[in-house]
Homo-oligomer: A and B are copies of this chain.
Amino acid sequence: MTSTVPSDALVSLDDIRAAAERLRGLVLRTPLLPLTSADADRPLWLKAESLQVSGAFKLRGAYNAILPQLENARRCGVVAHSSGNHARAVAWVARELGIRAVIVMPDAAPQVKVEGVRALGAEVVIVTPDQRDIRAEELSAAHGMVLVRPYDDAAIVAGQGTVGLEIVEDLPDIDVILVPVSGGGLLSGVATAVKALKPDTLVIGVEPALAADAAESFRTGSRVTWTPEQTYRTIADGLRTTSLGEIPWRHVSRYVDDIITVDDDEIRDAVRRIATDCRLVAEPSGAVSTAAYLHRAAELPATGRFAAVVSGGNVAMAAYAQMLSPAP
């Protein structure tokens, strides 16, 4: 067990502040960049987590989960299962700290992502998709490796929550914060930080309509699970998790004000606008929050100061080029 709190406890503002202290100098304090073409009565700032060295916010949680267990991690290594930004983040942290890392990846993972993790010095274990969690748990149990879960862990939630802390520090008058949601680590961390500091600020999750398990959970009040056949339809490949984690759900159901959805064409348009207006490379998963601002204004407050977390920028260049300049 890597969780640092009892199973029914909530992550606190103090946990998130402790994470911020732990991460100082290790992760980039990412800038808030104005979307220059935003409407005058509802300005938007982008929190550019795509600029983290690993290309996504996941670095925050990974450091915050590993550092308190550094001695164990040094002795036995760390293990994680992921084919995406969490894999890159854990491999990055392990390399920086001089720790052995094993990443369990599904056999369907694109070769470029496998190579990317190997290039960071991590060992890769390929398994069938249904074996991912099991194999990671086994490696942890058999060899004492520190298991770094992608989102269902209090230390991960607290680490990602530092994004919320920074937004409120830099924009104390913020009215609405839009956050991509998949397993819920980022959304629950941000909501926990923001509601403790500024209870009137709205925290709204944004999800692809094609992978809207979190929106359905929020609406029905109980955590539902979609099938991979459903969630794998969206272009937002970082948001295909089939359900919120248990620990994130506890925070989301308590602190989050709404979860809204965007369609894939709206996501592609947001990727373009982020490139032209802010000169940031965003991956589709990272652009959903901006897509909500641009295309779902009717579901959001009509005026106020908005922030959108651009959660990552790891995207294959051929696919990205196509999004920027679609065939006529």
Contact = CB atoms under 8 A, between A and B. Distances in A.
Interface of A: 28, 30-31, 33-34, 36, 48, 50-51, 53, 55, 272, 275-276, 278-282, 313-314, 317-318, 320-322, 324-325
Contact of A320 (B282, B318, B322, B324): B324
Contacts of A36: 53
Given A275-B320, A276-B317, 11 more contacts: A33-B51, A34-B53, A55-B279, A275-B317, A279-B280, A279-B314, A280-B280, A317-B324, A320-B325, A321-B321, A324-B324
A321 B34 CA distance: 23
Contact of A325 (B51, B278, B317): B317
A210 B6 CA distance: 65
A318 B326 CA distance: 9
How many copies, total?
A: 2
Given A31-B28, A31-B31, A278 B321 contact: no
**Which 4 residue pairs across A and B have the least CB separation, nearest first?**
A279-B313, A321-B325, A279-B281, A321-B321
A242 to B, nearest CB: 27
Nearest to A50: B279
Contacts of A28: 31, 33
A55 B36 CA distance: 10
Majority secondary structure, A binding face: mixed
B278 A51 contact: yes
A96 to B, nearest CB: 11
Contact of A272 (B53, B279, B317): B317
A30 to B, nearest CB: 8
Contacts of A51: 31, 33, 48, 278-280
A103 to B, nearest CB: 17
Q: In the complex, which of the residues A272, A275, A282, A322 has the most CB atoms of chain B within 10 Å of its own CB atom?
A: A275
Nearest to A310: B279
11 contacts: A28-B31, A28-B33, A33-B53, A48-B51, A50-B279, A51-B280, A275-B320, A279-B282, A279-B314, A318-B325, A320-B325
Nearest to A314: B279
A32 to B, nearest CB: 9
A156 to B, nearest CB: 22
Contacts of A50: 279
A280 B33 CA distance: 13
Contacts of A324: 317-318, 320-321, 324
Q: In the complex, which of the residues A279, A317, A325 has the most CB atoms of chain B within 10 Å of its own CB atom?
A: A279
Contact of A281 (B34, B53, B275): B275
Contacts of A325: 317-318, 320-322
A124 B279 CA distance: 25
A317 to B, nearest CB: 5
A153 B324 CA distance: 37
